Chain A
């Protein structure tokens, strides 16, 4: 089991790293929007860029607007795996909180095996189909003056679902270790799993912070 746990740790690390890194794309996204708004709504730069469009055949503003949703696409697809590992995905916790960790682990394992994995594998297969179709058709931007090579951004669908699959596999290894291995592995698995209800680490930390603030008199004015 030790080797598998090590593998799970590597996969986990990888998916988290992808998610954390892609988050930084927010900064260029914000800057691109600002640049687009300022240059497009301002007659001086607008005319300057219109000249550029006339001579080069590319519209800066259209490219920037395409770029905005390209960034958005990368951000959302590549963050799914990180979201799953950090247990950020919404669950309906009403009944779950009443069950034991073991039951929760069983439900999660079966759910991942029969619902999660088939869905992800199917999505990977069809996004691969969509990307190759886009590649073979030479699909470009709808507006002709935008960013071409649509297959490139479509391929992020494959990558995104694969990263999610990686996160799911890492969790599955740990869940199986928790369910079927000896006490030692179970403890190791619990340490690394974040899927259980009831250990609201973040909520608890926030509550302690609130207690501390209350003790110090609610902060100065």
Chain B
């Protein structure tokens, strides 16, 4: 009897981490809140490990300290980087509820009316600009579907094309900055958020470029898929050419004044670049208000402000003027200004936005807290070493291993939102990727590291590349039928005339485009690495 117990004891001592993971998976599929499952499993297995004297009670004190953070650790609470998350959530929700997003879609349709598939293209552009900020896949798919699908169906677009475009554009948001997923990833992988944001710009543009090409080609070949906008649908008065001249000259005037000011007074007291930027923005907003219901007025009111907002957020990170946290705060403030300018900043809108922000923040950070508890216990029972041992035991080549990890993430994406994957799986995979880094040096065009500093640089570069790959991969996974859950959300809000088959049929070409995009980033890592190196230097 005693012998049997010793065998069990030894077995548990070695494999308790594996059981922990197994039980987590089982508990998650019962449909309990993920955070509760994570926290509960960590308490139960922490308790078992303490009972068997693998661990000491102090381990739970370590849990609460890791949840707290501080000292540059990636905790949830004392962590200046993560302040960006509620701010971006606020910004995205504000743009949605204050109808800024809707106005943008309307004006884009009119601007692109001569291009085949104008409305589908507008949705892609809007996804590129906006979907970024709504936080989680479900929310952004719901928002985009509600905004665009009725309009597309009413204009006679084929349901498959319409749903495919919307689902793909809405999920693009997890890759294109400002993206909450990239903030969380950078935080967990201990790399710079700004760097990751800027690295994601080109891969994101490649994807939306591919969508763009596909839609234009399809709609040129088969015009019946996307009927052009009827002339009488545009209820805009003709633009007075004199006003266009006036707008252009006012903008030119502001820029000229700005240069004169810069030359006369120097850059010491006032940042003239910024003053010029804000001057043009304010000028456009005022002239947009004065302009009547014309195309010019629509562009000034609907198109220019969101563009300015995004440029301001990314630009301030780009120029090193603000940290990502500050940029997020500036973006949130900007969204308030836009809503006020749009005359939709009422008390009820603000209350809705505040409540939604609180709920989304709670959702993100409760999982964060649970995942921190889980990973602390998991690390303490040597679970991570178990996984690394397992991977070494496989004896795969670095590339095969990378593909295996990618495939695993792809499969996980069928069942989990990016939150769980980023918070539970990535911290486990990251050490593996770091050890692999030298094997990818040649592929990334970096010399083999000869000292510790070079190795660290190389590891950071590989991590950036890996993070972008994961983001693209996850997006593909969310779209892939029959499990991709962006599609389920879409079915949930789509008018009942849209069948699930339409959604499946519509998404397949986009999944193919995703795979092409993913291969491009895989094959040309410079796409993700070049721009940050130019911006931040080496």
CB atoms of A37 and B329 under 8 A apart:
yes
Which A-chain residue is minimally distant from B497 (CB atoms)?
A: A214
CB atoms of B68 and A84 under 8 A apart:
no
Does A136 interact with chain B (Cβ within 8 Å)?
A: no
Could you tell me the distance between the alpha carbons of A37 and B32 in the complex, rounded to whole angstroms? 42
Which B-chain residue is minimally distant from A220 (CB atoms)?
A: B235
Could you tell me the distance between the alpha carbons of A206 and B493 in the complex, rounded to whole angstroms? 6
CB atoms of B90 and A119 under 8 A apart:
no
Residue of A80, A83, A204, A219 most packed against chain B (CB within 10 A)? A83
Q: Which residues of A contact B152 (CB under 8 A)?
A: 218
Q: Which residues of A contact B229 (CB under 8 A)?
A: 221
CB atoms of B234 and A221 under 8 A apart:
yes
CB atoms of B68 and A69 under 8 A apart:
no
Residue from the list A32, A89, A142 in contact with B33, Cβ < 8 A: A89
CB atoms of B64 and A90 under 8 A apart:
no
Nearest CB of B to A116, in Å: 5
CB atoms of B77 and A157 under 8 A apart:
yes
B residues engaging A (CB < 8 A)?
27-37, 39-44, 60-61, 63-65, 67-68, 70-71, 76-80, 82-83, 86-87, 90, 102, 106, 109-110, 136, 142, 145-146, 149-155, 229, 233-236, 268-271, 321-322, 325-326, 328-330, 332-333, 336, 354-355, 357-363, 365-367, 369-370, 373, 415-417, 419-420, 489, 492-497
Nearest CB of A to B253, in Å: 24
The number of residues on chain A lying at the interface, defined by a beta carbon within 8 Å of a beta carbon of chain B, is 80
User: Chain B contact residues: over half helix, strand or loop, or mixed?
Assistant: helix
Counting from the closest, the 9 A-B pairs by CB-CB distance are: A115-B40, A33-B329, A96-B31, A83-B362, A218-B154, A218-B151, A119-B39, A23-B358, A213-B150
Q: Which residues of B contact A10 (CB under 8 A)?
A: none
CB atoms of B233 and A26 under 8 A apart:
no
Residue from the list A32, A122, A154, A211 in contact with B60, Cβ < 8 A: A122
Residue from the list A29, A104, A214 in contact with B87, Cβ < 8 A: A29
Q: Which residues of A contact B322 (CB under 8 A)?
A: 37, 41
Pairs across A and B, CB under 8 Å, 11 listed: A24-B354, A26-B86, A75-B86, A86-B359, A90-B419, A92-B31, A111-B40, A126-B60, A206-B146, A210-B150, A213-B150
Given the known interface contacts A115-B39, A115-B40, A203-B142, the answer about A90 and B417 at a Cβ–Cβ threshold of 8 Å is yes
Could you tell me the distance between the alpha carbons of A157 and B70 in the complex, rounded to whole angstroms? 14
The 0/1 profile, CB within 8 Å of B marked 1, for residues 124-157 of chain A is 0011011000000000001000000000001001
Could you tell me the distance between the alpha carbons of A75 and B100 in the complex, rounded to whole angstroms? 26
Nearest CB of B to A188, in Å: 23
Given the known interface contacts A88-B359, A93-B31, the answer about A83 and B366 at a Cβ–Cβ threshold of 8 Å is yes
